[in-house]
Amino acid sequence: MQILLVDDHPLILSGLKVLVESLREGVQVCCAGSAAAAREHLQHAAEFQLVLLDLHLGDANGLDLLSEIRAAYPALPVVMISGSERSSDVIRAIDLGAMGYVPKRSSTEMLSQALQLVLAGGIFVPPLKLGLDDNVMPTEEYPAEVAPLPVPAVPSAAALDGITLTPRQHEVLSLLLQGMPNKLIAREMNLSVETVKDHVAAVLKVLGVSTRTQAVLAVSELSRRGGNGFTVWKPR
């Protein structure tokens, strides 16, 4: 298995390479110290099964590169690795198509859990302190012009208890949580895009949310695993 690791700090790059390769037998990590180097490596995207991407790169914004990768290689999962633990950064990354977000202060166990889940087709979201970072003061790392996104309202676990979905809605939710856009869901399920839109709207209504990102967070609330992170996935 080949994983592309993108980080502009050499010590972190080398350390993460050793750590990730130790988590799973047969894993080979290819390192890129910049967005430009990552783009060169991705010309051979068929070689990679996963991308680990730093949120802040010296020559690019990691979220911009995430958008590029998702547009050019929609089947290639990307997990953000960042020193930021702000819920707005997590939500922004998931909203742009990241299949996971792992803070750099995470334990080895959490990183392993995240990679296993994403490689199995799920989305990993770390524990979020919703609503606590909306008024972050500007810093060199987070300048004033980069305003945090508003944190969406997420139903409590109690509010989500007892929700019911039809088998078709469960399948749509499963694919939605894998980051698939409506067109790919329609192709996978052999349905029209309009029918998929109707199913997605119904699922969001049942979950009590209005966006896909809120759906990820709502399901993650249901699937919390002992405070070590959220495992967001339903087997297909």
Single out the residue in 104, 125, 146 at which a domain terminates: 125
Angle at alpha carbon of residue 60, lines to 123 and 142, rounded to 5° = 80
Residue 174 sits in the same domain as residue 80: no
pLDDT given at position 233: 42
pLDDT given at position 163: 64
Distance CA 5, CA 94 (A): 18
Residue 111 sits in the same domain as residue 177: no
Single out the residue in 125, 146, 168 at which a domain terminates: 125
Distance CA 50, CA 79 (A): 8
Q: With H, G, I as helix, E, B as strand and everything else as coil, classify residue 115.
A: helix
Residue 120 sits in the same domain as residue 190: no
CB atoms within 10 A of CB 27: 16
User: Cα 107 to chain center, whole Å?
Assistant: 18
Single out the residue in 84, 106, 125 at which a domain terminates: 125
pLDDT given at position 81: 92
CA distances from 14 to 18, 62, 92, 205 (A): 6, 19, 27, 45
Residue 180 sits in the same domain as residue 91: no
Residue 18 sits in the same domain as residue 118: yes
**pLDDT tens per residue across all 236 residues of the chain:** 899 999 999 998 999 999 999 988 889 999 999 999 999 999 877 789 999 999 889 888 999 999 999 888 888 899 999 888 887 888 888 888 888 899 988 888 888 888 888 887 777 887 765 443 443 333 333 333 333 334 444 444 444 455 677 888 888 887 877 667 788 888 889 999 899 999 888 888 887 777 777 777 777 666 554 344 444 444 44
Domain count, the chain: 2
Domain that holds residue 86: 2-125
Residue 220 maps to which CATH number?
1.10.10.10
Residue 24 sits in the same domain as residue 111: yes
